[in-house]
Amino acid sequence: MISFKLNGKSVSTEAAADTPLLWVIREQFGLKGSKFGCGLGLCGACSMQLNGESIRTCVMPVSAVEGQSITTIEGLGTEENLHILQQAWIAHNVPQCGYCQSGQLMSASALLMKNKAPSEADIDNAMSGNICRCGTYPRIKAAILDAAN
Ligand code: FES
């Protein structure tokens, strides 16, 4: 059995140790906001936070999170109480197709936890592992800068 915190609650799983965390979160816990894109750790669609750091969960075995704290998009904000980045995402109409956006938000919120006033270069650096086929990068950057102010 592997135990960890998921969005602040203690949970456990009987999944095989090498099962990618993404599948455990989506299939066992039913949290479908995190997406499968490449499965190779390259696109960022599956991003969650491990102890506040953005990670690629399609290539992370669930055994690696024993005793750790995982946050998904479902733990970032609620419909009644949106995270400041979610508010900025809406204000800037960031998503186009939307598929990558939960991963984008998890990386952006990890950045703002470490750096409350990121420069454009800081944002480029922190967000470089999150790919958007619709090319929403300018709106993502504007939303992060807005939320940081
Ligand atoms: Fe995990 Fe692409 S699905 S990085």
Q: Whose CA is nearest to atom 4 of ligand 1?
A: 41
Q: 111-121: per-residue pLDDT in tens? A: 999 999 999 99
User: How many other CB atoms sit within 10 Å of the CB of residue 48?
Assistant: 30
Distance from the alpha carbon of residue 100 to the mean position of ligand 1, in angstroms: 10
- What is the per-residue pLDDT for 64? 98
Which of 40, 48, 127, 131 to probe ligand 1 with, by most ligand atoms within 8 A of CB?
Answer: 40
CA 46 to ligand 1: nearest atom: 1
Within 6 Å (CB) of ligand 1, which residues are found? 36-39, 41-46, 56, 58
pTM, two decimals, is 0.96
The complex's ipTM works out to 0.97
pLDDT of residue 140: 98
User: Are 102 and 44 in contact, with CB atoms under 8 Å apart?
Assistant: no
Ranges of the chain whose pLDDT falls below 70: none
| Residues whose CB is less than 8 angstroms from the CB of residue 55 and which lie 6 or more positions away in sequence, other chains included | 47, 48, 49
Domains of the chain: 2-75 (3.10.20.30), 84-148 (1.10.150.120)
Instruction: Give the chain as a 3 state SS string.
Output: CEEEEECCEEEEECCCCCCEHHHHHHHHCCCCCCCCCCCCCCCCCCEEEECCEEEECCCCEHHHHCCCEEECHHHCCCCCCCCHHHHHHHHCCCCCCCCCHHHHHHHHHHHHHHCCCCCHHHHHHHHCCCCCCCCCHHHHHHHHHHHHC
pLDDT of residue 111: 98
Structure tokens at 55: 């990670």
Q: Report angle CA 14, 15, 18 to the nearest 5 degrees.
A: 135
